[in-house]
Structure 1
Amino acid sequence: MSVPLSSKEQSLFKQVVQLYESKQYKRGIKTADQVLKKVPNHGDTQAMKALILNSQGKTEEAFDLAKLALKNAMKSNVCWHVYGLLYRSVKNYDEAIKAYKFALRLDPESRQIQRDLALLQAQTRDWKGLVDSRKTMVTAAPSVRANWTAFAIAHHMAADYQAAEKVLTTYEGTLKNPPPATDLEHHEAVLYKNTIIAESGDYERALEGLKAIYRSNPDRTAVMELRAEYLLKLGRKEEAEKAYRALLERNAERRAYYDGLEQALSLDRNDSAQHTQLQDLYKSFAEKSERIDAPRRVPLDFLQGDAFKEAADVYLTRVFRKGVPSTFANVKALYNDESKKQTIEQLVLGYASQNSEENGKNWDLAVNYFLAQHYDYHLCRNLEKASEYIEKTISLNTNPQDYTFHLTKARITKHSGDLEKASKQMNEAREMDRADRYINTKCAKYQLRNNQNDDAINTMGLFTRKEANGGPLGDLLDMQCMWYLFEDGEAYKRQNKLGLALKRFKSIHDIFDVWFEDQFDFHSFSLRKGMIRAYVDMIRWEDHLRQHPFYSRAAYSAIDIYVKLFDDPNCGSANGDLSDADKKKAEKKARKDKEKAEADKKAAAAAKATAASEEVVKKEDTDPQGEELLKTKDPLSEAMKYLSPLLAESPLNIRSQQAGFEVFIRREKYLPALKCLVAASKIDNANPLLKEQTARLRKTLAELKEPLPEKIKEVIDAELATLP
């Protein structure tokens, strides 16, 4: 316990807590100092001051003060709670949980500490511990529905479906009056309970449950979708057919409904004998409205030969007459079948020679545009023909603000390898409609592909906030615009400006950390709002967060740079291959950039000093050029920060295993390196890089100065024998 305070100091201490909660940090520090002036060793006040210091970005000072507070008041639940909050802020969740638990021992009745512990257990996926915490919270406040819901979620995530269902049923039994029809939280909880029963495998009982809520639940579509799914899994196909037909009446463009209907009718696309029946089915839906596309497009996926040609002819004629610009994007998936690709090409070439007057004013434009995209596509690339057709398309276009065809012209030029010309053409397309954000971003992307980093950021700056801290790049970072950060990093990497490249890839890495951290608030927010199913979906999505392509691409590039830095610490020098004159120019530019950065920093510091508001202190970027990232003494440890999530969440991507090998062999971790090779061989045994890496491992092991332990050598020899 802390030293007792007089009534005056106790009142001041309460003010410190209130000022912290209202983010008035300067006043909070002053008030805390008033208390400490009278009672220098008051642990609780020291702890609260530490919490405020941490919020101001003074983390080390905050930890030192928190440790002193614990020394002065080892049995204070406030000190231990604050200690846990500090560890949570630096993402040391294990230590934070220990501190919370110690605080709870000192004050078992504290709902705030129990709540913080439960939220952290959800964040770390400690479902067993969360079950215990939520049980305590339900016992303490049984009238709060959110506590019961959270208790059920804890059991659900721990795969104890019966317990989760029982918790929700128990709460429903405590209700004296039935909830009103406007109680959305209740409707969501009932539907959530139904999904738990289904996940346990009891679809019959889940289906019975849907009958009771079908008319009352406001999320009618979700109920209908679940009902159709359950009927299909129970083999009640006649009822499932009616259920999917009812869904298609609501949304005739949803392909998943057509897939369900096919299963309900026992139709198999791979059985050519059933194609006529399938065609008739889709024709019946297409006849309902001229505007529906899906029932006209789906048959092209399974039809073959003359039947495909006839259906494709009808489909393409219809969309070309309408002049639909996305036609090629809609049918290019069919190109994986060589015969279908050739059939489409023959049909469209035939259309190009037809009289456009009979087919409408959009015909020539649509047909020529399709052929330009067709010959630009990688499966049938003929850039000479693509250029010919896109020029004809542009000549037919009468709308001077329609940049679509000029965009495709730039894409064709890019595929020819002339990135500089493609960038200019894309900028010309952008000039046609300066108010369009899409073409603006495409132009910036092409400029980055041509290593025009300065031009790209100026282009993006046309649509960023003018008042953003850090200019256009600062706004793009705030908006987490990862495509730009990745392309910017790749451009710098190609120019051997590895510091700036690492800076961009690290920004993407940090964004995913933010995404993971952001879910912390939803552990309580989703329960307050009652959006339980969405919350469970979010939890499951977060568990595979770093499978996202943007993370993996940035990680592969960052690992590649760190491996190069390990092999040659000076490889990041952008002046290495320049002449003496160019080196002097580069050094002069670097000095100017440094002087400008220092001037900007001083101006920002002066502005901050005169600011009247008491906002949370923002961390300044002390390394805008990424120079400190290049100076790392242990590049392989930095590479591991990117590699570990890849191996954990994307182990079936061969690039993850190959990147792992490059890091582990340099760290002289031969068993993990071999493990990566074995995993890669299971993915693609004929991969040429796999053979090269295997040969390198064999050579490295043969040249070891000291032999490996006998048992490890036996394992390695046995596994190596299975590799190419």
Structure 2
Amino acid sequence: MPQPLSSKESSLFRQVIRNYEGKQYKKGIKVADQILRKNPNHGDTLAMKALIINSQGRPEEAFALAKVALRNDMKSHVCWHVYGLLYRAEKNFEEAIKAYKFALKLEPESQQIQRDLALLQVQMRDYQGYIESRRAMLQARPQIRQNWTALAIAHHLAGNLASAEDVLTKYEETLKNLPQKPDIEHSEALLYKNTIIAEAGETERALEHLQAACKGCLDRLTVMEMKADYFLRLGRDQEAERAYRALIDRNPEYRMYYEGLEKSLGPKDDRASLKYVYDEIAEKNPRGDAARRIPLGFLQGDNFLEAADMYLRRMLNKGVPSTFANVKSLYADTFKRDTIQDLAEGYLTIEAHNPAPQTNGTDEKPANGDTSKFRSSVLYFLAQHYNYHLSRRLDKALEYIDKAIEISSTSVDYHMTRARIWKHYGNLQKASEVMEYARTLDEKDRYINTKAAKYQLRNDENDAALKTMSKFTRNETAGGPLGDLHEMQCMWYITEDGESYLRQLKLGLSLKRFTAIFDIFDVWQEDQFDFHSFSLRKGQIRAYIDMVRWEDRLREHPFYSRAAISAVRAFVLLHDKPHLAHDSLTNGTHGGDKDFGKLDSNERKKALKKAKKEQQRQEKADAVKREEKKISTGGTTADGEPKKADTDPLGLKLAQTAEPLKDTMKFLNPLLEFNSINIEAQNVGFEVFIRKIKEAGPLPPKISEVIIADLTPLLPSEDTSLSKHNDAFLSKHSQSPSHIYSALRTRHLLSPDSSRSQDEKILLDTLDLPNISMQEAREGLDLLKDWNSGSLAEYRAKAAKKYPRATAFVDGKATNGENKA
């Protein structure tokens, strides 16, 4: 039992609670101290003071005080509840749950403790515990609808669909009169119940429930979509067709409605009839695009030629910038790609007096009086066509975009495409310059601003990119533009910045950025906590279920995969070349190109000493720069809470880790768990585990059986050595650069001390292969760098002659961003 207080002090204690809830922390501590002067060992007051101190950003002091409170009053549910809240703030949910359960034993009627426990249980996906907590809350207060809904959700998330439906049904039975016109909460509850029935596989009953109980639901669009889906699943095609046509009438641009309509119409063998359906819809929607674009996917031969011609003329005549983006998915079909190319090329020969005949069924006027508009649209389309990887001819792409710019020199889109062409040439410096010029044509456009910054980062112009981004950030915030980008969770920028520093071997800054991405995903995972109760209050149950399931697969997100893979590569570099931890600020100039592993002990000590000295000099310079820009100031969060100052703004502590392979597991484990089909994730995982000698020891029989079954066709026979097997692989794939690189890497793993002169010649000869791409040529250059080869200059000269517009071979600049969108 809590220690008793006098009536006056009890009133003061209630004031402490109000101060805490109102975030009046200084007043709260003042009042708590007033109580403690007379009752210095009062556990509840000490606990509340600890809670306030924790809210002020002093967790260690708060925990120490909370332990004192518990020692003074072990049987106080307030002390145990506060102890759980402190652990909750530290994200130690397991210990918080233990504390909550102990508090609940002392005060089983406390709704607040029960609710806090339930929220943590669902956060931790302890669904069985969540069911028990929600059942107890329902029994305590059965008159509240939220308690019924929450118990149904608990059963649903645990996979007990029948129990979830039963809970909702029992609540409906307690209502004397169902609302004639449902409010939002009842409407959502009915639709939620319907989704549960459908998830259980009872489509017929779900349809019956939808038609009977959900007719008056406020979300009419969802009801229509569910009904169309159920009709389709049940094979009631005519009703499904009518339902999807009604949906298309509401939104004629939504692709999924057309997919449902096609399924309801049966097989696509009769393409003429299907085309008639789309023509009918297009006639009803003269300004629509989907009904005209979608048929291009299933039409063939002359029918495709006619439809593509009409579509392209219509779009180019209006000067729609997204025309190429709309049709590029057709390029997987070579006939369609070539047909579109021939049509677009042919438009350039159309007489100026009639560039684009009017298309039937539209209210668009022909561009008879504006030949330049049509011509520039065609040139822009062709520039994108020849820049696309399935139809790439960069010389023609550059020719066409230059002609388009001659007609419209202030078009931002045209200059952006020109920048992309230079990017694909491999000249990132030129690409960055052109994109920056495009930005100056419309300085109020945020999109072109971010594009310019991205191209600057690809060219490793980090300071210039941050300056560009600062035009649209709150620069007065703590940390300046960079601090605001982190605060706004601008993941594309943080990721690109980290990859740029990784290319420059500035591993501290690189890991700093990737760790920021990791922390953002932690924040996303933490942010769901408030929605466990918010969604119940607002009645948005279906959206809540979707959110929980999305959070369960959160680390599948491409941004996490990309940052994690790069972080693992950085840690592997630190494991293989420890001097880079001290060398990362100087762009690898103090040993970055040396084979550090082959230095003797004295040379290694000298290299590390030199790197550390240079790092200390750089640290001092950066400290002055940081002070001037106030990069590492604390400030406050959006909630007004104190923000911790960044004590390691350059990531030096991250780079100077004593156990890089151990640190990499934080990134690698979620990557392998949620992105197991990602080949890059498997590759970096192998690089880590091979260094940790993870394969040592016998494998479980089932795993061994799978591995042997998959590897047997790839392994050499018993009388063939691995070296001979690798040589045979090299001979078999002598026309494929990527296969050649793999074979040469394997050769030097098998025989690290063998002569490399022959292999260097093989690498030089790959540049003569007719199918080698510039990216593959750069991989060959990187391989020579790894070997510290004396043939680097010769390779660069030969590659520069083959790719005269690329910069990577001219100055040896290490960039790898040119093939990303």
2:761 alignment partner in structure 1? none
Judging by fraction of residues, say which structure has more helix: 1
Once residues 487 and 577 of structure 1 are traced to their aligned partners in structure 2, the CA distance between those partners, rounded to angstroms, is: 22
Identity %: 57
**How many Å apart are 1:665 and its aligned residue?**
2.3
Counterpart-to-counterpart distance in 1, 2:473 and 2:202: 52
The aligned residue for residue 247 of structure 1 is 247
**1:301-350 residue CA offsets vs partner (Å, 9 max, x unmatched):** 12222222222112111111111110000110111112211111111111
Residue type matched to 2:520 in 1?
A: I
**185 and 458 in structure 1: CA distance in 2 versus 1, 3 angstrom threshold:** same
Where in structure 2 are the equivalents of 1:49-448 lying within 5 Å?
Answer: 49-179=49-179, 181=181, 183-268=183-268, 273-358=269-354, 359=356, 360=367, 361=370, 362-397=373-408, 400=410, 402-448=411-457
Separation in structure 1 between the aligned mates of residue 675 and residue 708 of structure 2, nearest angstrom: 12
Tell me what 1:638 maps to.
663
Kindly provide the CA deviation profile for residues 192-247 of structure 1, in whole angstroms up to 9, marking residues without a partner as x: 11111111111111111111245411211100110011111111112111111111
In structure 2, do the counterparts of structure 1 residues 582 and 501 end up closer, same or farther at CA, with 3 Å as the change threshold? closer
Q: Deviations over 1:383-425 (max 9, x none)?
A: 1111100011011117x3x311011111111111111111111
Between stretches 464-473 and 593-602, larger displacement belongs to 593-602
Q: Alpha-carbon deviation of 1:5? A: 2.1
Is 1:625 matched with 2:650? yes
- Say whether 1:515 aligns with 2:540: no
What's 1:577 paired with? 589
**Distance change (3 Å), C-alpha of 1:13 and 1:646:** same
Alignment of 1:523-562 (within 5 A): 523-562=532-571
Within 1, Cα distance between the matches of 2:709 and 2:456?
A: 35
Residues 162/425 of structure 1: CA separation in 2 closer, same or farther (3 Å cut): same
Q: Which amino acid aligns with 1:70?
A: L
Q: Cα distance, 1:602 vs. partner? A: 12
Letter in 2 for 1:380: S
C-alpha offsets along residues 426-445 of structure 1, whole Å, 9 cap, x if unaligned? 11111111111111110001
Letter aligned with residue 406 of structure 2: S
Report the alpha carbon displacement of residue 525 of structure 1 after superposing the two structures with TM. Answer: 0.4
From the superposition, tell whether residues 262 and 604 of structure 1 become closer, same or farther in structure 2 (CA, over 3 Å): closer
Q: Say yes or no: does 1:666 pair with 2:691.
A: yes
Cα distance in 2 between the residues matched to 1:654 and 1:69: 53
CA–CA distance in structure 1, aligned partners of residues 99 and 288 of structure 2: 60
In structure 2, distance between residues paired with 1:645 and 1:219: 37
Match of 1:472 in 2: 481
**Residue 467 of structure 1, CA deviation:** 2.5
Secondary structure of 1:553's aligned partner: helix
How far, CA to CA, are the matches of 2:401 and 2:299 in structure 1? 30
Q: Does the residue aligned with 2:116 lie in a helix, a strand or coil? A: helix
Alpha-carbon shift at residue 486 of structure 1 (Å): 0.5
| Corresponding residue of 1:18 | 18
Distance 1:600 1:106, change over 3 A: farther
Which amino acid is 2:315 matched to?
Answer: V
Q: TM-score, normalised by structure 1?
A: 0.90
Separation in 1 of the partners of 2:643 and 2:611? 38
CA distance in 2: counterparts of 1:451 and 1:680, whole angstroms: 45
Shift of 1:167: 0.9
Relative to 1, partners in 2 of residues 1:521 and 1:142: Cα closer, same or farther, differing over 3 Å?
same
| Consecutive unaligned residues in structure 1, runs of 5 or more | 701-724
- Whether the 8 Å CA contact 1:390–1:405 is kept in 2: the answer is yes
Q: 1:602 to 1:465 in 2, by over 3 A?
A: closer
For 1:456, what is the secondary structure of its paired residue? helix
Taking structure 1 as reference, are residues 93 and 604 closer, same or farther at Cα in structure 2, changes over 3 Å only?
Answer: closer
Q: CA deviation at 1:671?
A: 6.3
Q: Give the secondary-structure state (helix, strand or coil) at the position aligned to 1:633.
A: coil
Whole-angstrom distance in 2 between the partners of 1:602 and 1:656: 33
**CA distances 1:55-103 after superposition (whole Å, capped 9, x unpaired):** 2222222222222222221111111111111111122111111111111
Distance 1:159 1:377 in 2: 46
Structure 2 counterpart SS, 1:461: helix
- TM-score w.r.t. structure 2 length? 0.79
Distance 1:395 1:693, change over 3 A: closer
* Pair 1:597-2:626 in alignment: yes
Query: Could you list the runs of 5+ residues in structure 2 that have no partner in the other structure?
Result: 357-366, 592-606, 715-728, 730-737, 753-821
Write out the 4+ residue segments of structure 1 that deviate beyond 4 Å after TM superposition.
578-589, 598-605, 671-682, 684-700
1:363: how far off?
A: 1.6
Task: Show CA shifts across 1:450-473 (max 9, x none).
Answer: 111111111100011132221111
Residue 99 of structure 2: SS of its match in structure 1? helix
Counterpart for residue 713 of structure 1:
none
The amino acid that maps onto 2:474 is R
Whether the 8 Å contact between 2:556 and 2:674 is mirrored in structure 1 is yes
| Secondary structure of the structure 1 residue equivalent to 2:270 | helix
Give the match for residue 46 of structure 2: 46
Amino acid at match of 2:565: Y
State the match for 2:362 in structure 1: none
Distance 1:602 1:323 in 2: 46
2:808 is matched with none
Post-superposition offset of 1:12? 2.2
The answer as to whether partners of 1:83 and 1:96 remain within 8 angstroms in 2 is: yes
Query: 1:698 deviation in Å?
Result: 9.7
Counterpart amino acid of residue 365 in structure 1: S
Please give the alpha-carbon distance, in whole angstroms, between the structure 2 residues aligned to 1:560 and 1:451. Answer: 18
Residue type of the partner of 2:295?
P
Distance 1:438 1:106 in 2: 58
Q: Does 1:654 align with 2:679?
A: yes
TM-fit CA distance, 1:33: 2.4
CA contact (8 A) 1:646 1:656 kept: yes
Does structure 1 retain, via aligned residues, the 8 Å contact 2:579–2:611?
A: no
Residue 705 (structure 1) aligns with? none
Deviation at 1:182, TM superposition (A): 5.8
* Partner in structure 2 of residue 486 of structure 1: 495
Match of 2:781 in 1: none
Instruction: Identify the range of structure 1 (426-435 vs 11-20) with the bigger mean alpha-carbon deviation.
Output: 11-20
**Cα distance in 1 between the residues matched to 2:535 and 2:98:** 26
> In the TM superposition, what is the alpha-carbon distance from 1:19 to its structure 2 partner?
1.3
The alpha-carbon deviation at position 374 of structure 1 amounts to 0.6
Count of residue pairs brought into register by the alignment: 689
Contact conserved, 1:267 with 1:278, CA < 8 A, in 2? no
